[in-house]
Structure 1
Amino acid sequence: MSELGTQEQAILKIIQDNPFAGQQEIADQLGLARSTVAAHIVQLVAKGHILGRGYVLPEPSRATCIGGAVFDRKYRARRPVIPATSNPVDGSRSFGGVARNVAENLALLGTPVSFISIVGEDETGQALLAHLKGRGADVSQVVTVSERPTAEYAAVLDPSGEMVIGLADMGIFDLFQPAHIDRAWPHLAASSLVFADCNLPAEVLHHLIARRKGARFRLAIDAVSTPKVVRLPSDLSGIDLLFMNLDEANALLERDGLAPAKDAFEAARALTHRGVSEAVVTMGSRGMAVTSGRDAVHVPSVEAAPVDMTGAGDAMIAGTLHRLLAGDSTIEAASTGALLGALTTETAASVHAELSPHFLQANLHRLADRKG
C-alpha cells in the first residue's frame, strides 16, 4: 500500500475490519473531520482499494481483460492452397478475440476475471457474452451498440494448420472511447492485474496507460499484430508487461531484424529502454525472450503435436498472467504460458475445451522435457 498516505491507510484498515463503518464513525476514531474522511474514501475508490458504496472490498486477486471480442470463422484447406481459385476446406466457427480468449482461459483456470469490450446489438454479440458468462467471467461492463455489428474474423489455414490469410471486420472497436474506460474505472482500479490488447483504438490505449499510473493494478498489453502495435505510445512508461512477437517488436521499435534468437533479446531490452517494466518477445517454436529487471532470459518452447495454431499466443498470455497472479516471477510464469500455448496448439479450438487447473497440473511434466 505504498501509494497510500498515512490517513488513507488508517481509513482502509478500519473499513477492512468493519465494512459497515460509517464516515462519521471513522472520523471519530481517527480524530478527523468527516469531510476529510469522505475525500480519502473517494481516493480509495479511485485507486481500487474499495469498490464504492458499502465499502465492498475487492477480491485479493482479480484480473480484468479489455479488448477484442470477435466471432471467429476458420477454414482449413484440405490440400495446399492455390490462389485465385476455389479451395476445398473444412470450416468451423467459434468465439475469439485476443482479450476474450485470454479471459476465457483465465476463467477456466479458476482466476476471477472480468471482461470489458464492445459488441453489436445482434445475436452474435449476445451469444458471445452468454458463452463467456457461462465460463464464469463477469461481462457486466461490456458496451453494446447498434451502429456496427459484432466484430468478425476469418482465418484460412493450410493443411498443417498454419495461417495463409486472415480477414478482419473490426470497425466496431473504433466506437470504443476513453469515456468507456472512465465509466468502468472503479471496476478496473479494483483489479490486481489489467490486460489490454491493441484492438483498442490508440486514444483508448493512451488513456488507459496514463490513468494506470495512479492505480494499484499491474498493466499488461499485447500487440495483436504488426499494424496495430503502432497504436502504442512511443513512451511505454506505465506498462508493466508487454507481449509481442519479434516482427511486432521490430515494427514498434522501427528497427531491422537480425538473427531471430539474438534479435529477440535485443528487441526485448529495447522495449524496456522505452519505459516498459518487463517484456516478452516471442519467436514461435524458438521460444521467447523475457526481460525482467536486469535479467534477459530465454524461455524455451514446449514440444507439441500441433493441430491448429490459432489461440496459442492468447493461451500463452493467459498462462503467464495466471501464474503472475499466483505470485510467480514473470520468468517462472512465462514457462507455464509456454506450456498452455503448446497445449492449445494440440486442439482445433482457440481455447482448449479440457482446460482446468487439474488439466494444467497434469501436464506440468512436459516442462521438464524442454530443450533450452
Structure 2
Amino acid sequence: MSLLPAASSKKVIVIGELNVDLIFADSSIKPEPNREKLVRDFRLALGSSSAIAAAGLAGLGLEVSFVSIVGDDEFGRFCCGELKRLGVDVTHVVVDLRARTGVTLSLTDGSDRSLLTYMGSIGSVSPEIFPLELLNDASHLHFGSYYLQEQMQPHWLELFKLAKAHGLTTSFDAGWDPAEAWDRERLTSLLAYTDWFIPSEEEALRIFEAGSLEELPGRLPADRGTVIVKCGAAGSVGLFEGGWVEFADPFVVDPVDTTGAGDSFNAGFIAAKLRGLTDVDALEYANACGALSTLAIGGAGGVTLEGLARFWPEGRRLA
C-alpha cells in the first residue's frame, strides 16, 4: 500500500523562477567583518520555490512539467539537469543567451536561514514563454515566489482565469517581498481564482495586515479559496471558506537545513489534495513532507514516496 492513491494521468504545471542555491551550513553561521570562519558543510543545490515544489511533486509520484527561463551558463545547465534527474519535464525551460542564471546564497544553522539573492534570470519569466496548450492535459497549475517573478505579476490573474476555464485547480506561494510593499490589490484579485494560497505565517500577517493568526481570518477577502498558513515548527493552519479553521500539529525533528521546507510542504499539500485526501489529512501530509525535507542539506530531492514511507509509516493509513 502506498502513502497516496495512484497518480492521476493528468499532469501538474509549475511556472516559475529557476536558480541555484549555494548553501553554507554550520551552527555559528553569521559572517563577521575582517574574519574568516570555517563551516561544516556546503552544497551547490537546485534552488527556487517553484523548482523545489516541482521536484517534490515529482518525488510524490505526479507528472510535472516546468516552465521557466535560465541563462546560457553552467548554473542554468545544472538546474535543468537536476530537474530532469528528479523526474521533472524541462521541455519548456527557455535558455536566454543574454541572461545569467540567478543565484541564492543560503546561510543555514539548521533551525533557520538567511538568504542573499542575485536575481539574474529569476525575474524574467513572462507570459510569452508559457505554452497555453499545456493547459489542455493538465489538472493543476502552481507557482512560487510571487514577489521575485517581476514580469509575471501583472499577468497571473489572466493565467489563473484561463486555468480555471480549462478545469484546473490552482495554487501559489507568495514568498517574501524584498520591497515589503506586498502588492495587496493584485493579490486580492488573484485569490478569487486560487484554490490554495500557501504563505508562511509572517508573510500572511504582512500581506493581510493582521496582528496575529487569530486575527487573520477576519482580514481575508471574502472572495477567495483556501488559505494554508505554514507555521514552521508550530505546524500549519488551514483557513477554509465559510470560516472553518483547522490546525495541524508539527512533526518534531532535529533539522539539518530548513531550505525548501515550505516548498516541500506546498508539494505535499497539493499532491494530497489532487489524490483526493481530506483537508485535515492534507495538512498533516504536508507537515510530514516539510519536516522530512529538513533532514538533509538542500531543498530539492529530499521528498519522495519511499523516503516519506520510512519517515512516517503511520501515513500509510491515509491511502
- TM-superposed CA distance for 1:133, in Å, is 1.4
Q: Secondary structure at the match of 1:316?
A: helix
Please give the alpha-carbon distance, in whole angstroms, between the structure 1 residues aligned to 2:283 and 2:266.
8
CA contact (8 A) 1:79 1:88 kept: no
Q: 2:304 maps to which residue?
A: 356
Partner of 1:230: 183
Write the letter of the residue equivalent to 2:199.
M
Aligned to 2:141: 194
Deviation at 1:244, TM superposition (A): 0.4
What is the Cα deviation at residue 274 of structure 1? 4.7
Q: Which of residues 149, 158, 161 is equivalent to 1:207?
A: 158
Higher helix share: 1
1:240-268 residue CA offsets vs partner (Å, 9 max, x unmatched): 11000122112222x2423xxxx2x5425
Where 2:281 maps in the other structure, the secondary structure is helix
Return the letter of the residue paired with 2:289. L
Conserved 8 A contact 1:286-1:300: yes
Question: What are the within-5 Å matches in structure 2 for residues 298-313 of structure 1?
Answer: 298-313=247-262
Residue 120 of structure 1: aligned partner: 71
Q: How many residues align?
A: 298
Which of residues 254, 257, 264 in structure 1 aligns to 2:211? 257
The answer to whether the Cα contact below 8 Å between 2:67 and 2:129 also exists between their aligned partners in 1 is: no
Residue 11 of structure 1: aligned partner: none
- C-alpha contact 1:74 1:156 (8 A) present in aligned 2: yes
Unpaired runs of 5+ residues, structure 2, are 1-7
User: What TM-score do the two structures reach when normalised by structure 1?
Assistant: 0.74
Q: Secondary structure at the match of 2:268?
A: helix
Residue in 2 that maps onto 1:220: 171
Letter in 2 for 1:100: A
- What SS is found at the alignment partner of 2:116? strand
1:108 maps to which residue?
59
Name the structure 2 match of 1:41. Answer: none
| Structure number with larger C-alpha Rg | 1
The equivalent position to 2:127 in structure 1, one of 178, 184, 195, is 178
Check conservation: 1:304, 1:342, Cα contact below 8 A.
Answer: yes
Question: For the Cα contact (< 8 Å) 1:230–1:251, is it kept in 2?
Answer: no
Aligned with residue 240 of structure 1, among 164, 189, 195 = 195
**Contact 1:76/1:156, CA 8 A, preserved across alignment:** yes
Per the TM alignment, residue 352 of structure 1 is displaced from its structure 2 partner at its CA by 4.6
**Residue 344 of structure 1, CA deviation:** 1.1
Deviation at 1:305, TM superposition (A): 1.4
* Structure with more relative contact order (C-alpha pairs < 8 Å, separation 6 or more): 2
Alpha-carbon distance in structure 2 between the residues aligned to 1:136 and 1:209: 25
State percent identity of aligned pairs. Answer: 23
Listed one character per residue, the Cα deviations across residues 84-136 of structure 1 (whole Å, up to 9, x for unaligned) are: 34332232211111111111111122111111111111122122112211222
How far 1:192 moved relative to its partner? 0.6
Structure 2 counterpart of 1:49: none
Q: Does the Cα contact within 8 Å between 2:13 and 2:66 map onto a contact in 1?
A: yes
SS in 1 for 2:50: helix
Deviation at 1:359, TM superposition (A): 2.6
Q: Compute the RMSD of aligned alpha carbons.
A: 2.3
How far 1:270 moved relative to its partner?
3.3
Which residue of 2 is the match for residue 39 of structure 1?
none
Look up the match of 1:13. Answer: none
1:310–1:268 distance in 2 versus 1, CA, 3 Å: farther
Deviations 1:318-362 (A, max 9, x none): 111111111113332121110011111121231354x43233233
Gaps of 5+ in 1: 1-58
In structure 2, the CA distance between the partners of 1:61 and 1:327, relative to structure 1 (3 Å rule), is: farther
Question: Given that residues 72 and 96 in structure 1 are in contact (C-alpha distance below 8 angstroms), is that contact kept between their aligned partners in structure 2?
Answer: yes
Structure 2 counterpart of 1:135, which letter? L
Corresponding residue number in structure 2 for 1:132: 83
**2:231 paired with 1:283:** yes
